[in-house]
Structure 1
Amino acid sequence: MATGKVRVQEFLSRLPLFNEVSEAELDRLAAGTTEVKVARGEMIFRRGDPCLGQHSVVYGQVKLLLVSPTGGEKVVRLIGPGGSFGEALMFLGKDYVVSAEALVDSLLLHVSRAAIMQEIENDSGFACKMLASLSQRLHSLMKDVEAYSLRSGTDRVVSYLLKHGCEQDDCSFRLETSKTVIASRLNLTPEHFSRILHDLGGRGLITVKGREIIIPDRAALENHQD
């Protein structure tokens, strides 16, 4: 885990949203940026809090979630280093519609709405990049909705494993977070998620060792159907 001083301009310049802005623009954005350190399990914001800017993850992991009146939890999105969230609501001037919680000790950068809006006023090209970023996020969201609505649980799990695994055979990787959180992200119960992993393991398509997953034959997993 990184613990040194964050070079804010350098970090922002690596984000898709800001990777083509000038040094002067980065300096102004950095002036409107604050570091936010959160411990594992700490809430970053809750649904209904005002959205006053955009967050980016320097290190750690954050989950965006919805909580039902009975306390049930639905994970909407998992965000790791280099990921960002909050842009759309920031422009709308709306309160957060989800809550955000740190899954591990994390460091975030919060770029204020005022700093971003000032750059938009100064440069129409900056506004176009913001629109492109939001459009990409919307496209990803629509693909998620399609997957949850039209694809089986097994297909969702297989797609997740292929996305996070290696390109070559006999490659192992570690699940990014707990199986319970991943199950919620895939719109599955933890029990259903575990059954699917067990079934895939029984077919020889994967090997599960705790949170470590081994895919012996990637092509076979890609071709797997219910």
Structure 2
Amino acid sequence: MNIDENLLYSFGAEDKNYKKRESVFREDDHAIYYFQISEGKVKLNNYNENGKEFIHNILGKKQSFGEAMLFLNQDYPINAICLEDSRIIRLPKKKFFEMITQNPDLSLEMNACLSQEIFYKLKMMQSLASQNPMQRLKGLLDYLKSYHDEDCHQCFHIAFTRQQIANLTGLRVETVIRNLKKMEKEGMLSLQDRKILY
């Protein structure tokens, strides 16, 4: 979701600067703010009992996160960690609900964004259920490309590292590298100067 920054500020939002690797919130923190990225990148993740990271999403400029927990009055089930120095707008929960009440069109937009998140989770669950690593990768790449209007073959740049792709798909980085090369041989994508073009 991308709410006009001036509207957020008019309801009392503030900018907060975060350093690379700094946490915006941690798993089990109580949800008390609406967050929107003004500059930078944030990953949503958690770790299993063996310490292996699973990335739920990587978000950038003009994207929001954590708002679903405001509606549920639940603690966060994930961490939000900055991947680079970031400036994030945060609006207290009470003010967030005032803003939504006074601007009902935002509710429709928020429903669309939350629906998109659910769609993403369902598509990823479907891909992750596959034992075939190539199918998992294809599911992720198809989803990422679906956000862009380009209707071209092998022109969409996947702006994630191999490690991030591994953490998004639950695969080992070696498996990701091996299967990306297979996908290139089969003509499904191009690998140019360490870039993945899909």
Q: Please say whether Structure 1 and Structure 2 have the same fold, judged by a TM-score greater than 0.5.
A: yes
Report the more deviating stretch, 27-36 or 92-101: 27-36
Report 1:4-153 matches (<5 A): 15=2, 18=3, 27=7, 30-122=10-102, 124-150=104-130, 152-153=132-133
Tell me how far apart the structure 1 counterparts of residues 78 and 119 of structure 2 sit (CA, whole Å): 19
Rounded Cα–Cα distance in structure 2 between residues aligned with 1:209 and 1:127? 42
Q: 1:36, 1:107 within 8 Å by CA — same for their partners in 2? A: yes
On the 8 A contact 1:41/1:103 being kept in 2, the answer is: yes
Structure 1 counterpart of 2:163: 180
Q: Quote the sequence identity (%).
A: 23
* Contact 1:200–1:206 (8 Å) recurs in 2: yes
**1:197 to 2:180 alignment:** yes
- Distance in 1 between residues matched to 2:24 and 2:54, nearest whole Å: 17
* Greater than 3 Å deviation, 4+ residue runs: 26-31, 120-133, 159-167, 169-172, 202-207
Of residues 163, 171, 175 in structure 1, which corresponds to 2:155?
A: 171
Aligned residue for 1:208, secondary structure, equals strand
Q: Give the SS at the match of 2:49.
A: coil
Specify the SS of the correspondent of 1:32: coil
**Counterparts of 1:54 and 1:202 in 2: how far apart (Å)?**
44
Question: Retained in 2: the 8 A contact 1:157–1:186?
Answer: yes
Measure the CA separation in 1 of the matches of 2:187 and 2:104. 54
CA contact (8 A) 1:63 1:76 kept: yes
Specify which structure has the bigger relative contact order, considering alpha-carbon pairs within 8 angstroms and separated by 6 or more residues: 2
152-161 or 68-77, which moves further after superposition?
A: 152-161
Bigger-Rg structure (1/2): 1
**Which amino acid counterpart does residue 155 of structure 2 have in structure 1?**
C
User: TM-score, structure 1 length as denominator?
Assistant: 0.72
Q: Shift of the alpha carbon at 1:150?
A: 4.3
TM-score (norm 2): 0.81
**Stretch deviating more after TM superposition (112-121 or 191-200):** 112-121
Structure 1 CA distance for aligned equivalents of residues 188 and 103 of structure 2? 51
- Aligned-partner SS, 1:171: coil
Equivalent residue pairs, number: 194
| Distance in 2 between residues matched to 1:92 and 1:172, nearest whole Å | 36
Q: Cα distance 1:172–1:138, how it changes in 2: closer, same or farther (>3 A)?
A: closer
Alpha-carbon RMSD? 2.9
Report if the CA contact (8 A) 2:36-2:90 is conserved.
Answer: yes
Extract unaligned runs of 5+ from structure 1.
1-13, 216-226
Matches within 5 A, 1:203-214: 203-214=186-197
For 1:35 and 1:150, the matched residues in 2 are separated by: 41
